[in-house]
Each structure stands twice: as structure tokens, then as C-alpha cells.
Structure 1
Amino acid sequence: MKYKKIFVVSPPFYSHFNPLLVLAKSFQEQGAQVTVGCSIEFKEQILKENFAFYEIDISSNKNTGTSEDTVQPDTERMRLEEFFESTKKGAVETLITQSRHRKADMLYNPQELIDKIKAIDDSMDVDLYVVDILSYSVTLSLYFLGVPFVTFCPPHPNTIPRDGRYFNVPKSWPEAITVDEEDLKKLKQVSTQTQQEFTEVFNNIISENKSIKKISNAFSLVSEIAVIYNYFDFNNIEKSEENPKELFIGNSFQAVALDEEWMEKIATKEKKIMISLGTFLSNRKDVLEKLILSARESHPDALLIVSAGSHSEELQKYSSPNTIIEGFIPQVALMQYVDTVLFHGGCNTLTEAMYHGKEMVILPFSSDQFNIAYDIEKHNLGRVLDPNNFSQLELAKALAELEETSKDNLRYWRNVSRDRGADYAVKKILEIE
């Protein structure tokens, strides 16, 4: 086996931690000795999965469940509020806000992290590190120290800008999201500035080590061994033999059985619709409310299952025998039992829905969600709506049109997802036939 001791560095974000943990488990099952480094809030879960735990903070921003409930420093909470407000103004305003926040929340103490990772490397004799694409300071540290690592990309592959592309600017937009040319120009300017600032910080540090090259774009700095995408190879770009490998795994979640209490709750022959906006965007109570009322109007007999985050109590007025509203739902376990998923276009929910071949309506707000929504629309795998401007009639139309989506395409990608998963990438990297 090529690498025996693996150190997985996870950001303290629930939506990135979980897929990374599945990847770590796959390394462990193939015979590697795995340590998971993360902040203290995740220690219990890491130990429960029988990994060695190493405490390391790599971000001042944390999301350990729903973002509003996570204890945050005041500056982080202010940035979160600013982000939520920007989502109400539309796609470009949201992406500009996110781009401006990047330096503050994702370039965390690079000099200190270099020292911490050097200490890990000196004491633990690590053969290979696994780093999340959004952990920019960790990637910089590993590159600076010249140690072998692989890059894990849980969001859309375009999160890593290829030549001539802009960081945090969608390559293509779904039809429902209209973008003004002037606004797009402004977004590209902000993106360019953020990219330059990040790259300058990287190169100032890199220049202290004369044996490594300066870089042209900090956001494109990835492993020379392999990049693992928790996504689908829609554009046929996979490279699985020569390095750097580009490996598409289709899913990185662990199957969970649904408990009896929930089985009783969902026992109906009627259509089942899940509404989930993810750990961050469940903050948008107005959109959740509109989705509940609109779906109820067009499908009065359907069973609605709503993940409402911290707004669960306020939305209880809409609960009924066929409307379940909970702060947290066992989404992974529930997915196989629902018919349709209305969601924000987050990669985890997408891969879970695709694995089970579910009907999808995507309402993208931010980040990579526009790229994901575009892919689903382009391949006729679902429908896309503007979360800020959809009407009840538009949702009804989108739900009706799901009958016209390509069942052959969905079946094909569902089968790809089931054939792959984390084991596919891990075997390629460890060179296990």
C-alpha cells in the first residue's frame, strides 16, 4: 500500500466535516492508520468513529449544526448576518459579499498553521495529508512544507478556478437566475481583487522558502497527487491514471437507517416532498414559509417534511398531519423514502438525492449552488427557481414538469454514484487494485 499513515485535516463546518469523515473511514477500511484533525467540537464524533483525534483550529468561523445556533465570535456572527441579508438582494450581491468575506474567514493564521503542521509532521511521521479545498491556510502550509497531500473538493468542481476563470463567479447561470451585465462586471472585479489579495499573502509566505515556486492563483493551488471531487463528471474531465489525478466519486455520505418513529410519521401512500435549505440557508424563514404554503397549495394531499433549523417553532403554525416541521430532520435516512426534494443546491443534498434518483427542484442562493443548479438544468435532471422571486404558480409548474425530466439521465448518474463513492478514489490513491 502506497500510504500507510493518513492525516485528515477537517474544517469545523458540518457540511464539509461529514463527507471528509466518510473519506477518512474509507482510508481506514483499506488498511491505513488515520488521524482526523479538527476543532474540539468534533472530537466526540471523531472518536466514536474509531479515529485518532488531534485538536487543531483552522478557521475562526464554525458551523457545528445549524449556523445560527453555533457559538461564534461577534465578528463572525456579524459576517453571517451580512451574508443572510445579501441573499435577499440576489445572486450577485451574495457572491460579492462572500468574496469579500473570504480573506477574513478562510485565510486563518497561515504562519501559525505552518508551525502546527510542521509539529504534526515531525512527531507523527505522516505519509499523506487530506485537506478540504476551502481550508486555504492548510493547503498553503502543506505546500510550503513540501509534504504530500491530496485535495478534497466537497463543493462543485468550479470552486477551483481553471485557467482564465474567475474565483467565485459561476461559469454558467441557470435560466431562473437573471444577472445584469453591469452587476456581473462588478462581481468579476471583486473576484479579481480577492484573488490577487489571497495570492499575494500566499506568495509573501512562500518567498520565505526558496526551494518552492511562487503561485499564480491561490484558489487554484491543489495537490500534485490527486483532487477528489464529491461530484459527477458531467464534463468528462476525469484523469484516473496519471498524476495529478482528478477523481469524481459521486457521493460521500454514510447510509443511515430511518428509525421506527420516523417510519410511522411518513407512513402514507401520498407523494412525499422534502424541503431542506441546508444548515446555513435554513435561516431564510421567508423562503421556507413560501415553499411550505406554495407546495401545500399545489399538492394538498402530499406529505411535506420540512427542515426548518432554528425557525422550527415559528413555523409550527403550518404543521398538520401531513406537514412535518422539525428543526432537524434525519435527511440522509429520509432521502430514500421521499419522492421530491426542494432544496438550495448544496452538494451534500444533491449527491444524496442523485444517489437515490429523486426528483429535484433547486433554489440556489450562494457559493457553488448556481453551478450545481445549471448542471441539473442542462442535463434535464430537475428544475430551478429563483428563491427570492418564485411564485406559487411557478413552483407548481416546476413540480409538474419534473415528470418531463430525463429518467434515463437520472438513472445513469444514480448508477455512477452507487458504483463509486469514497472507496473508488481511495483505492486509486493507495494504488489498490
Structure 2
Amino acid sequence: MKYKKIFFISPPFYSHFNPLLVLAKSFQEHGAEVTFGCSIEFKEKILEENLNFYEIDISSNKNTGTGENTVQPDTERMRLEEFFESTKKGAVETLITQSHHRKADMLYNPQELIDKIKRIDDSIDVDLYVVDILSYSVTLSLYFLGLPFVTFCPPHPNTIPREGRYFNVPKSWPEAITVNEEDLTRLKQVSTQTQREFTEVFNAIITENKSIEKISNAFSLVSEIAVIYNYFDFNAIEQNEENPKELFIGNSFQAVALDDEWLEKIETDEKIIMISLGTFLSNRKDVLEKLILSARETYPDALLIVSAGSHAEELQKHSSPNTIIEGFIPQIALMHYVDTVVFHGGCNTLTEAMYHGKEMIILPFSSDQFNIAYDIETHNLGRVLDPNNFSKEELAEAFNELETISKDNLLHWRNISRERGADYAVKKILEIE
């Protein structure tokens, strides 16, 4: 086995940490010795999985469970509030805000990280590093030091812009999200500027090492060995014969059993609907409230399970024997039991829903969610609504239209998800001579 000692470097983001942890465990189960580098908040979870822990901070921005409740520096909290406000103005304003934030959020002390990773490499005999696609400073450090690494892409594959594409600009938009040409042009201009700034920072550092070449796009810098996508190969572009391999795994989560208390809560013969907007976007209390009231009007007898984050207490006025509103729900364990998932289009929830073959209604707010919503709509696997402008009638219609979803198609992608997972990618990489 060429890669015996593997070092993971994870951002302190709950939604990225979890799939990386599953991938790390798979490498260990296949015989590799794995060290998992992350901020101290995740130490306990890493040690619970019998992985070696190494403390390393690679971002000043953190999300350890519920975004707005995570302890943040004032500057990070201000950016978070600005992001939440931008989501109320629509897709383009949100993406522009995110693009403006990228340099502060994701280009964290690159020179310092180069020194940190060099110390790691000098003290631990590492054969291969695994880095999250959003950890741009880590990718830069590994490239600068000439160290072998694999890129892990938990969000949509278009997060890595291919030739001729723009960073943070959806390739295609779902029908419910209307974007005029003027706004799209503005978004592309901001994207181009952010890309230019990132790339200039990368190349200013790269020039210090005469043995490596400058790059044309910092956001497209990935491993020469393999890119692992926590997604589905909807466009048949997987390439696993030559390097860099492009591997689509379809899921990277660990199945867990639902405890007896929850089993008792969900005991019903009625339809079960899960409403979850993710760790960050659960901040949008207005959308959660509208979804609760509209879903209840459409399905008076259904069981609603709502993940409400920090707004759970404020939303308790809508709770009832058949409306469960919690700050945190055991989403992975619950997914097996629900009929329909109403969510923001986050990749983790998507892969969990697809693994179990569930009906989906997506309300995309930001980031890669528009690309994911487009894919699900295009492949007739779910329905999409504008989170800021949907009516209760439109939600009712979306629920009704789920009856037309191709069950064979959903079953097809469910089976692909179950056949793959983290083990699929790990085996491909460990086979490399």
C-alpha cells in the first residue's frame, strides 16, 4: 500500500467535518494510520472514533453545530449577520455577499499555515494529506511545499470552477429562482474580482518557491492525485483510470439508530414531513415559520418534525402533538422514517435523503444550493421553491407534484448511493501504485 500514513486537515465547519470524519474512518478501516487535524472543538469526536487528533486552526470562522450559536470573534459574527440579511434579498445579493467574504473566511493566514504544515510533515511521516476544497490556504500550503494530497469536495462539484466557468456563480438556475441579466452580470463581475484577488495572493506566495509554477485560478487548484466528490455523477464525468481521478461517492455519513424516545415520538400512521434548513440557515425563522404553517394547512394530520436551531423556543407556539419543534434533531437517524424532506439544498441533507430514496422539496438560499436544486429539478427527483417568495399554495402544489416524481429514477440514484460511499473512493485511492 503506497499511502500508509494519512493526515486529514478539516475546517471547523460541522457540515464539512462530519463527512471528512467518515472518510477518515474508512481509510483507517482499510489499513491506513490516520491522523485528523482540526480545531480543539472537535477533539472529542475525533478521539471517539479512535483516530489520532492533531490540533490545528485553519479558519477564524467556525460552525460547530448551530452557526449563530457558535462562539465567534466580533468580525466573524458581523459577517455572519451580514450573510443572513443578504439571504432575505435573494440569490444574487447572497452570492455577492459570500464572494466578498471569501478572502476573510477562507484565506486564513496562508504563510502561517505553510509553516504549520511543514512542522507536521517534519514530525510525522505522512504519505498523503486529505484537504477540504474550501480550505484554500491548506491547499496552497500543500502545493507550495510539494506534498501529496487528495481534494475532498463536500459541496456541489461546480464549487470547483472548470474552464470558462465563474467561481460562486451557478452554472444553471432552478426555475423558481429568477435572475435578470443585469444582476447576473454584476455577480460575475464580483466573482471575477474575488477570483483575481485570491489568485494574486496565491501566486505572490508561490513565487517564493522557484520549483513550482504559478496558477491561473486559485479556486481550481486541486489534487493531481484525486478529487473526491460527496455527490452524484449526474453528468457522467467520473474519471477513475488516470490521475487525477474524479470519484463520486454519493454519501459520506454514518448510519445511526434512532433512540427509543424518538421512536415513540414519531409513532404514527400519518405522513411524516421533516423541515430542516441546516445549521446556518435555521437562522431564517421567518421561512421556518411559514413552512410550518403552510405544511400544516396542506396536511392537517401529518407529523411535522422541524429542526429550528436557536429559534426553537420562539417557534414552540406552533408545536402540538403532531408538530415537533426542536433546536437539534437526529436528522441522519430520522431520515429513514420520514416521507418528505423540505430543506435548503445542502449537500449533506441531500445525500442522506437520496440514500433513503425520499421525496424532496428544496428552498435554496446560497452557495452551491442553487446548483443542487437545479440537478434535483432537472432529474425529476424533487421540487424547488424560492425561499423568500413562495406562497402556501405553491408549497401545496409542490407537495402534490411529488406524486409525479419518477420512483424508478429515485430508486436508481438511491442504489448508486448505497453501492458507493466513502469506501468506494478509499479503495480506488489505496489501489494506486
Please indicate the TM-score interval, normalised by the length of the shorter structure: over 0.9
After TM superposition, give the deviation of residue 286 of structure 1 in Å. Answer: 0.0
Write the mapping of 1:84-123 to structure 2, written as runs, cut at 5 A: 84-123=84-123
1:175-208 residue CA offsets vs partner (Å, 9 max, x unmatched): 0000011000000000000000000000000000
Counterpart residue number, 1:420 = 420
Counterpart residue number, 1:382 = 382
Write the mapping of 1:2-401 to structure 2, written as runs, cut at 5 A: 2-401=2-401
- For residues 416 and 364 of structure 2, the distance between their equivalents in structure 1, rounded to whole angstroms, comes to 24
- Amino acid across the alignment from 2:72: Q
- For residues 253 and 409 of structure 2, the distance between their equivalents in structure 1, rounded to whole angstroms, comes to 22
- For residues 141 and 206 of structure 1, the distance between their equivalents in structure 2, rounded to whole angstroms, comes to 9
After TM superposition, give the deviation of residue 241 of structure 1 in Å. Answer: 1.3
1:393-415 residue CA offsets vs partner (Å, 9 max, x unmatched): 00000001001011111100000
* TM score, norm. by length of structure 2: 1.00
- For residues 336 and 72 of structure 2, the distance between their equivalents in structure 1, rounded to whole angstroms, comes to 34
1:13-54 residue CA offsets vs partner (Å, 9 max, x unmatched): 000000000000000000000000000000111111101100
| Unmatched 5+ stretches in structure 2 | none
1:193-231 residue CA offsets vs partner (Å, 9 max, x unmatched): 000000000000000000000000000000000000000
- For residues 112 and 363 of structure 1, the distance between their equivalents in structure 2, rounded to whole angstroms, comes to 39
1:251-299 residue CA offsets vs partner (Å, 9 max, x unmatched): 0000000000000000001000000000000000000000000000000
Aligned to 1:89, the other structure's residue is in SS state coil
Aligned to 2:325, the other structure's residue is in SS state strand
1:112-170 residue CA offsets vs partner (Å, 9 max, x unmatched): 00000000001101000000000000000000000000000000000000000000000
- For residues 200 and 155 of structure 1, the distance between their equivalents in structure 2, rounded to whole angstroms, comes to 25
1:339-385 residue CA offsets vs partner (Å, 9 max, x unmatched): 00000000000000000000000000000000000000000000000
- For residues 180 and 309 of structure 1, the distance between their equivalents in structure 2, rounded to whole angstroms, comes to 33
- For residues 8 and 396 of structure 1, the distance between their equivalents in structure 2, rounded to whole angstroms, comes to 44
After TM superposition, give the deviation of residue 432 of structure 1 in Å. Answer: 7.8
- Amino acid across the alignment from 1:336: H
* RMSD over aligned Cα atoms: 0.7
Q: Number of paired residues?
A: 433
Instruction: Give the stretch that moved more between structures: 400-409 or 18-27.
Output: 400-409
| % identity of equivalent residues | 88
- For residues 65 and 117 of structure 2, the distance between their equivalents in structure 1, rounded to whole angstroms, comes to 27
* TM score, norm. by length of structure 1: 1.00
- Amino acid across the alignment from 1:14: Y
- For residues 334 and 432 of structure 1, the distance between their equivalents in structure 2, rounded to whole angstroms, comes to 37
